[in-house]
Structure 1
Amino acid sequence: MDLDVFVSTHRAEWDRLEALLRRRRGLTGAEADELVALYQRTATHLSVIQSSAPDPQLTGRLSRLVARARSTVTGARSASWRDVTHFLTHGFPAAVHRTRHWWVPTALVSTVVAALLGWWIGTHPDVQASIAAPGELRGLTRPGGEYETYYSSHNAAAFAAQVWTNNAQAAALCLVLGIFLGLPVLLVLFTNMLNLGVGIGLMSSAGRLDTFLGLVLPHGLLELTAVFVAAGTGLRLGWTLIDPGHRSRRTALAEEGRAALGMAIGLALVLFVSGAIEGFVTPSGLPTWARISIGVLAELAFLGYVFILGGRAAGAGDTGDLESDGRSETVPTAA
């Protein structure tokens, strides 16, 4: 291809497209149609030049021209309060509901693992001795010990913020690391259950399991549920890499990855609530039954949000992915 001849033949079209882009807000209907046609032709010209006679300066000019024209033709979509409302009432609860077959079993198995670890540690003094010296164990489990003062030893607001940040990071890790076939997610999950099991075992061996549960349950119900949702979603993302189903692997990972990103934002909000409970309710002077009741109500509210509101949204076809105008077109695949 003679590049000079090609440029002289089509330069007028490129100049005309550039002129239309400069005054795109005052275009007539005919000029808007002309802009679309010139955008399509210029995109074709760019493809021809890149494949036949690549010229860096010309390619750069046409690339910028095509990008500006694409933005004008397709329109730039900006987030709005409508998107926030839709996310909170449809997208996020639908995504959590859709992954319930992963995170509910994850929650059940993890709870059993934590209980078994607690029983094992609580009934085996030699295991307790491997965790810490007897004096240190007494300092942890005695009345007014570290397990009790942990929740009241810091400013409530600062402590709630710290807890929220740490838990949000753990949830995000579970979601992101799912891409590695879900194996790192299992490690993060086991580490959390081991820490819980150690607390159960040590406090039960000291005859103070009721005190421990009274401290953990108010915030722990909602906090652990969020972690289980994140872990289950991460495992589902890892399984998608193995079995994408009727979709191509790239399409499946893109869809599930976008939904997982949205869930990370939603779970950060859930963990904000659990962090506030841990910072202000757990160390408060309320009776144990009142503190646990607050935790149970928060947990029931979240489950109702997921299974009622999320179930309806999922039944209506919402998956938690971006709306169709916010994602790239996909190529149809055979089932």
Structure 2
Amino acid sequence: MDIDVFAAAHTEDWERLERLVRRRRSLDGAEVDELVDLYQRVSTHLSVVRSSGQDPALVGRLSALVARARSAVTGAHDPAWRDVVGFFTRVFPAILYRLRWWWLGMTAGTVAVAAAVAWWVVADPAVMHAIGTPESIAQTVEYEFANYYVENPRGSFAAQVWTNNAWVAAQAIVFGVAFGVPTLYVMLVNALNVGLTAGLMIGQGRADVFFGLILPHGLLELTAVFVAGGIGLRLGWSLIAPGDRTRLRAFGEEGRAAVAAALGLAVVLFLSGLIEGLVTGNTVAGHIPVPVALGIGVLAEVLFFLYVFVVGRRAYLEGETGDIRNAPAAAPVA
């Protein structure tokens, strides 16, 4: 299809609909009927243009026009709070469920790398020696590791952790536009850092401290980062192997879902930041026993997986994909 010819043939309808939408409060009966008719036609035009995948700018223009016309035709819209509830009960969990194999694979790969690095540090004294002097290592494992969680006020520390983790997750997703290669780099760097820290702590006989302080918040926090990495890889893969879609359409659909996932993950990371700032910090201070802190971390992780594989699965099987819906399946009639 020649998109320029198509646009030229229907521009008059689009402009007329635009004028009617602007005057929606002062339309007479005939103009209301015309508005409904044009709304139906332009919704069809949007579907045709979107399926061609040739002009994203035109898709955006028609999407905005159809949305405004729909509001004018129906005369009402759902309250904003319903959109928020719908996002967290359908859109976000459905995205996580649909892309589950990508982030579960990322989880397995990253944990394997971190475990291999930790084993290397513990098993080879030369590696431990290369990391630092015995004095500096002792300072890290005996003081700095635990002190990290209490050296700042709880609230500001939680905010700092949230900002840092959200930035890492955003990088992992956004870097998918470069075929996922930078995403793999971000995840590798994080795996190496975790593995080196674990190796130092375990090698110095402080495994109980390491896992007692990492797991309460780290289970949910690292899962969110793994999800971001998996979504970033899926975004990059849509450019390499778009399947039966055009590359532009595949990238657009996966990109919109990735943006939605990033918003949802910001909330997940906010919760893990609260756990790190309030639970882990109080564990270091001795106010919360380690078993209780671990129980909180495990509970948060279990709830996340139930959210994905119960709520998300249900929404996905009902047809939710996480993509933006630009037009209704059926247009209203007069």
For the aligned pair, the TM-score class normalised by the smaller chain equals 0.7 to 0.9
User: In the alignment, which of 274, 280, 289 is matched to residue 278 of structure 2?
Assistant: 280
- Give the letter aligned to residue 249 of structure 2: T
Is 1:251–2:249 an aligned residue pair?
Answer: yes
Going from structure 1 to structure 2, the CA distance change for 1:176 and 1:20 (only over 3 Å counts) comes to closer
Percentage of matched positions with identical amino acids: 50
Other-structure match for 2:91? 91
Aligned residues: 288
Contact 1:137 1:202 in 2 (8 A): yes
- Cα contact 1:175–1:260 (8 A) shared by 2: yes
Q: Aligned residue for 1:309?
A: 311
Question: Counterpart in 1 of 2:130?
Answer: 130
**Aligned-pair distance for 1:35?**
6.3
* Distance in 2, Cα, partners of 1:190 & 1:175: 14
Does 2:203 correspond to 1:205? Answer: yes
Distance 1:204 1:188 in 2: 24
Contact 1:21 1:68 in 2 (8 A): no
Match of 2:159 among 150, 158, 161: 161
1:213-249 alpha-carbon deviations (Å, 9 max, x no partner):
1010000000000001000010011111011111111
Highest CA radius of gyration, 1 or 2? 1
The 1-side partners of 2:194 and 2:312 are apart by 29
Give the TM-score normalised by the residue count of structure 1: 0.79
Q: Per the alignment, in what secondary structure is the counterpart of residue 286 of structure 1?
A: coil
8 Å CA contact retained: 1:214, 1:288 = yes
4+ aligned runs moved over 2 Å, structure 1: 16-24, 31-39, 66-79, 323-326
Provide the C-alpha distance between the structure 1 equivalents of 2:132 and 2:232, rounded to a whole number of angstroms. 33
C-alpha distance 318-126 of structure 1, shift in aligned 2 (>3 A): same
Q: Are residues 180 and 32 of structure 1, via their aligned partners in 2, closer, same or farther at CA, if it must alter by over 3 Å?
A: same
Partner of 1:298: 300
Gapped regions of structure 1 (runs ≥ 5): 1-15, 40-65, 327-335
- Given the superposition, is the C-alpha separation of residues 30 and 224 from structure 1 closer, same or farther in structure 2, using an over 3 Å criterion? same
Query: How far, CA to CA, are the matches of 2:238 and 2:22 in structure 1?
Result: 45
1:325 equivalent in structure 2: 327
Amino acid at match of 2:133: A
| Aligned CA distance change for structure 1 residues 148 and 25 (closer, same or farther; 3 Å) | same
Q: Is the 8 A contact 2:63 2:327 kept in 1?
A: no
Structure 2 residue runs of 5 or longer lacking an equivalent are 1-15, 40-61, 329-334
TM-score normalized by structure 2? 0.79
**What code does the residue aligned with 2:128 have?**
Q
Cα distance in 2 for partners of 1:70, 1:190 equals: 44
What residue is the counterpart of 1:55 in the other structure? none
* CA distance 1:67–1:225, shift in 2 (3 Å): closer
Deviation digits for residues 69-108 of structure 1 (CA, Å, limit 9, x no counterpart): 8776454778722111111001000000100111111101
